[in-house]
């Protein structure tokens, strides 16, 4: 039993923090928003160059074959910078799903290729127009198609950095890859959305802390007032109790049992709640500034709202936890229990 990260994992996280921190600054956000764009080719190239898109792709498909925990550490950093590019959707969810079915599929020859996912649970698909492959769920099967083989209708998200599409398609124009483990894809999506939520939450708090130190009212920094302090302390408390949940959920995804599914669901619920709480506290602390595009807090609220409902609503995930609570032993000795050991 050991709840610490390895040096190598720490290093991945540090590399991701530096790379994303340097290439996805507020100036970069503003530039993209002015252009009405949500994809920066130069940044994506650097992400690819650092191996992040190959991280959890199995070696058979030319990837590094690392685990979900390793990727989650990067997803946290992606959340911290409200990353516009589809690192998490493509490299965290789409690529391992497609690789498990078709490791020789053409996109794996190019680590920059984007693999979009259209699970039945989501009404829209992110980045489908620029994808090299779209993996679509129907009746438990995975079908793969290219953007020109399907009809994509752009849908505007309140999050300026989410590029969403409704998809209509015909089985005749797609390739049936057979039954797929959509449950595992959903678990990965829940855990990585949670990881992003953790990053979003911390950034929202950090932005508010910075502002509260500088902004003066009644002759002193607003951050010296307890009402302001307590909003942010509550948000930080939620963050402290989200992080271990996200890390444990990521470390356990591969078990694919009732407990690991519940853990992924828990992580998703608490992390996106923490993100929303932090974003709202941050808006309150920024006053009218927070209600505008003059500061960047709105990006964190918007991403939190999006991730909270996609890949399973809170109600959906609560029902998965209920299954674990009411069908398996619960109690103090069950924190790390597995379904097969309880059978």
Tokens of 235: 């948000």
Number of residues in contact with other proteins under rule CB under 8 A: 51
Report the relative pairing of strands 141-145 and 133-138 from DSSP bridges. antiparallel
Binding to other proteins in span 19-48, by CB under 8 A: none
Instruction: Please report how close the Cβ of residue 306 comes to other proteins at its closest, in angstroms.
Output: 22
Stretch that binds other proteins, among 45-53, 119-127, 161-169, 265-273 (CB under 8 A): 265-273
Residue 209 engages other proteins in binding (rule: CB under 8 A): yes
Stretch that binds other proteins, among 28-36, 56-64, 160-168, 228-236 (CB under 8 A): 228-236
Residue 216 engages other proteins in binding (rule: CB under 8 A): no
Residue 220 engages other proteins in binding (rule: CB under 8 A): yes
Tokens of 316: 């959906």
Q: Cα separation of 146 and 162, whole Å?
A: 20
Find how far residue 330's CA is from the centre of its chain: 29
Q: Cα separation of 103 and 308, whole Å?
A: 31
Residue placing its CB nearer to other proteins in the complex, 95 or 235: 235
Work out the burial of residue 27: count CB atoms within 10 Å of its CB; fewer than 13 is exposed, 13-18 middle, 19 or more buried.
exposed
Tokens of 201: 């939450």
Residue 241 engages other proteins in binding (rule: CB under 8 A): yes
Q: What are phi and psi of 166, to 5 degrees?
A: -85, 145
Sheet with strand 125-126: strands edge to edge: 125-126, 163-168, 151-156
According to CB under 8 A, which one of 232, 264, 299, 304 is a site residue for other proteins?
232
Residue placing its CB nearer to other proteins in the complex, 4 or 168: 4
Q: Cα separation of 329 and 333, whole Å?
A: 9
Residue placing its CB nearer to other proteins in the complex, 162 or 243: 243
Instruction: Please report how close the Cβ of residue 186 comes to other proteins at its closest, in angstroms.
Output: 18
The residue ranges that bind other proteins (CB under 8 A) are 1-6, 9, 69, 205, 209, 212-213, 220-221, 223-224, 226, 228-230, 232-234, 236-237, 240-245, 247-248, 251-252, 263, 266, 269-270, 318, 321-322, 325-326, 330-336
């Amino acid at each position: 039993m050991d709840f610490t990260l390895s040096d190598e994992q720490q290093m991945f996280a540090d590399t991701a923090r530096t790379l994303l921190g340097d290439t996805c600054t507020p100036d970069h956000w503003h530039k993209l928003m002015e252009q009405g764009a949500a994809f920066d080719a130069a940044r994506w190239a650097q992400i690819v160059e650092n191996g992040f898109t190959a991280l959890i792709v199995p070696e058979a498909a030319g990837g590094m074959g690392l685990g979900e925990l390793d990727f989650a550490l990067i997803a946290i950093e992606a959340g911290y910078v409200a990353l516009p590019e589809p690192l998490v959707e493509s490299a965290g969810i789409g690529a391992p799903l497609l690789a498990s079915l078709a490791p020789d599929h053409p996109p794996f020859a190019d680590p920059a290729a984007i693999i979009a996912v259209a699970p039945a649970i989501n009404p829209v698909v992110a980045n489908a127009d620029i994808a090299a492959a779209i993996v679509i769920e129907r009746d438990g099967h995975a079908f793969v198609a290219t953007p020109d083989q399907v009809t994509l209708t752009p849908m505007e998200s309140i999050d300026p950095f989410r590029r969403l599409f409704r998809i209509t398609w015909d089985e005749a124009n797609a390739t049936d890859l057979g039954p797929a483990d959509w449950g595992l894809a959903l678990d990965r999506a829940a855990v990585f959305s949670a990881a992003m939520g953790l990053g979003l939450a911390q950034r929202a708090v950090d932005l508010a802390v910075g502002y509260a130190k500088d902004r003066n009212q009644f002759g002193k920094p607003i951050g010296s007032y307890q009402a302001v302090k307590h909003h942010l302390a509550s948000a930080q408390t939620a963050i402290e109790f989200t992080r271990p949940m996200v890390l444990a959920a990521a470390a356990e995804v591969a078990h694919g049992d009732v407990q690991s599914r519940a853990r992924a669901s828990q992580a998703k619920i608490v992390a996106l709640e923490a993100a929303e709480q932090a974003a709202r506290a941050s808006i309150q602390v920024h006053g009218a500034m927070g209600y505008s595009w003059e500061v960047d807090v709105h990006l964190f609220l918007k991403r939190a709202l999006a991730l909270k409902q996609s890949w399973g609503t809170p109600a959906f995930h609560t029902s998965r936890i209920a299954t674990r609570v009411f069908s398996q032993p619960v109690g103090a000795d069950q924190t790390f229990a597995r379904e097969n050991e309880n059978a």
